[in-house]
Amino acid sequence: MARVSLDNPAYFINREASWLEFNRRVLQEAEDETNPVLERVKFLAITANNLDEFFEVRVAGLVQQIEDGFTQGGPDGLTLSEERALIAKTAKRFVDEQYRCWNEALLPELMESGIRVLGMEDLAPEARAFAEEYCEKELDPLLTPVTVDPAHPFPRVINKALCMAFLLRRRRRSSMTYMGVITVPRALPRLVRLPSEGTADYIFLADLVAYHAARMYRGYEIVSSAAFRVTRNSNLYLQEEESRNILESVRAELHNRRKGDAVRLEIEANANQEIIDRLRTNFELDPWQVFSVDGPVNLSRLFTVYDRTDRPELKFRPFTPRELRLTGKTKDLFEELREHDILLHHPYDSYEAVVSFVESAAADPNVLAIKQTLYRTGDNSPIVQALIAAAETKEVTAVVELKARFDEASNIRWARDMEDAGVQVFHGLVGLKTHCKLCLLVRRDPDGVTRRYCHIGTGNYNPSTSKIYTDFSLFTANPEITSAAHNVFSFLTAYAEHPDYDPLLVAPLHLAEQCLALIDRETEHAVAGRPARIIAKMNALLDKNMVVALYRAAQAGVEIDLIVRGICSLRPGIRGVSSRIHVRSIVGRYLEHSRVFDFANGGDGETWIGSADWMPRNLYDRVDVLIPVRDEMIRERIRHEILDALLQDNRKDRPVAARWVLPSYPPCPTGPGSSRTRRLQRAGIFHGVGGREGVSGCHSFAADTPHSGPDRKRKLGIHGHLFSTPRQRRPAFRQPQKG
């Protein structure tokens, strides 16, 4: 039988179509009536925020390529122009779905729950008086009305700034119309809370600007008005090889982000056509780039409703993570690590242990040196503060990635603060992003021996996002791993390449090559009749070489399960090519962010975790690391407690089909009769989400796990938690019931 060619474009899903389908899965969470209503509002705002970034980066880059004369697309066979047409059609259909969700589902349910978003015409006398006073005292001093004429050119509209456009006519010369523009001030909340009794009432700030405009355009008749917003190209264009200082180059380029070329215009659906035409001309946009919306422009403003409404019964029940506790025989974490590795699964296990790892090292006189990578740290980072404090008495090195998209300004500020404190700050390697999550300590222990201790994570060193992202933290004192981590830091600070980094896989040096070898090894096992299976969990699967290797493995008989949250270019279910490949995406309360790669390896299983997705940027354009899980109990915990639970998810699992555009799937039916529910209940692992029986991959964990000591193996025999805690059942995620 002839071997099937795997270069067929029909075997690959378009990257941008796959991403848009991912965002649709987030929108499904906003549509899911089993989620609390304020959480649904938040999910809707997240989809809007996601779409903003998609246009700022992906669509902007595509438009730039087309303008520069490029035509060839990706492995799916679409030209860039065809891809642009696909994006325009799919994105506009998606925007219609967003506003249908807002108008037909969320607004009525918010109203039923006593949360009202009102217009000026809906206000009671007391609320109207408040609004008018607010306009005079708070809003008016911040507004600058502009009338466009030869003496007053069209104002510079910065990226994603919400504006009001007006079609004006002078009362004395009524034959001519003018364009008026007012920028809605960012210093004020996007939704203003109104005085009310028994309800939480809001009005959009843009509605107040429109109402107040008549007093600002005296002498004019306002013929028509419409809110609009322009999205601009936010890519940074750096010539790193020619730059003397990457920090200064990034800082200078950040100023251009707010005024890049326009790529999208959002405007109210009832806008006067003359306003649309004038805006299109001014921003040099084609018709496909204009998005008419049936509701408030910029749905990400709805975060305000979630944040400012104190109704805990309309949100997910608060969750308290498990704290790291040492076994009774050890005095501190370092002594524990000399005995065995520790794995934490965030957010179910508290991230405070990671923060304490760095903070205690900063205060420990026996710690001689700290080395740390930083990608997205957030504001008021306790880890950065600890590094600054440690620099007074220790050798502290920080590799700060200045090009972490949309975190550049924060990282520049932290880099300067650390440099001022005496930290040796490096900005990675020219042409590569530092994406690996490493912290390495050098400590002289009480026995007089100097040892290294390492934390390797799948997520950023950010305590805030650790509460909503699922990630792994692995602590180890394994000499091979810590020595390899030391060599990675040498690569980052001196571009010093070592002969090998075993047992770590390091991008861009050999991670891609080794991952392909792991897949090929599984293929060989299948051909030889040995156990062969791959379970891979990641954020995105896009690299063509990886996809082709997986196809070949499936053809050889390898059973493959992929858990891909976002983009997936692999098309499952093709007879003779990918019929043994099953792809699912899990979207829910927590963002699935961890990367896990599990191989049956002929019966001698291997598991790897790390920060790298199977995407070209992770494999070839970033410094990323995968680490083998050496502790068998930890490996079994990952395999059975986490991966098995995700593969059997019956609430938030959306299978990916072989269609061109991935289909939408409603939440799977669930109930006490579900076989998976019964199995997890018998194991004491699961006891309901939201007051109903069911399982979400975002909520799967072992609730009754003894973490270490003699009971660790006897009670479960599979888990690698290393705390000494009593048996304590985790609280169920019970959501409020209506009525």
Task: Give the catalytic positions in this structure.
Answer: 435
Those residues whose C-beta lies under 8 Å from the C-beta of residue 109, and which sit 6 or more positions away, are 37, 40
Q: Residue 395: beta bridge partners?
A: 369
Burial 575-600 (b: 16+ CB within 10 A, else e): eebbebbbbbbbbbbbbbbbbbbbbb
Return d(Cα 629, Cα 634) in angstroms, integer. Answer: 7
Triad 278, 280, 286: Cα angle to 5°: 150
Sheet holding 290-293, edge to edge: 146-148, 177-183, 162-170, 220-232, 262-268, 290-293
**Continuous segment of H or E residues that includes residue 42:** helix 37-53
Q: What are the distances in angstroms from CA 112 to CA 199, 733, 738?
A: 10, 23, 10
Measured in residues, the chain has a length of 739
The answer to whether the CB of 362 falls within 8 A of the CB of 389 is yes
Triad 673, 676, 678: Cα angle to 5°: 55
Query: 456, 364, 348, 383: which is closest to 697 by C-alpha?
Result: 348
Return d(Cα 169, Cα 577) in angstroms, integer. Answer: 65
Q: Which amino acid is at 665?
A: Y
The answer to whether the CB of 557 falls within 8 A of the CB of 526 is yes
Q: Residue 592, SS3?
A: strand
Q: Residue 374, SS3?
A: strand
Query: 71, 82, 83: which is closest to 19 by C-alpha?
Result: 83
> Exposed/middle/buried for 667, CB within 10 Å: 0-12, 13-18, 19+?
buried
Looking up tokens 């019956």 gives: 650
Those residues whose C-beta lies under 8 Å from the C-beta of residue 110, and which sit 6 or more positions away, are 37, 41, 116, 117, 305
Write out the two tokens for 58.
Answer: 């992906």
Write out the two tokens for 567.
Answer: 């983009």
Q: What are the distances in angstroms from CA 681 to CA 685, 691, 694, 701, 717?
A: 6, 14, 10, 12, 17
Return d(Cα 597, Cα 589) in angstroms, integer. Answer: 23
Return d(Cα 216, Cα 220) in angstroms, integer. Answer: 9
Write out the two tokens for 279.
Answer: 């805006």
Return d(Cα 560, Cα 582) in angstroms, integer. Answer: 6
Those residues whose C-beta lies under 8 Å from the C-beta of residue 474, and which sit 6 or more positions away, are 341, 342, 343, 344, 455, 456, 457, 609, 627, 629, 634
**Continuous segment of H or E residues that includes residue 257:** helix 246-257
Pairing outcome for strands 469-476 and 450-457: antiparallel
Pairing outcome for strands 622-628 and 505-507: antiparallel
Q: What are the distances in angstroms from CA 471 to CA 529, 570, 596, 703?
A: 34, 24, 10, 17
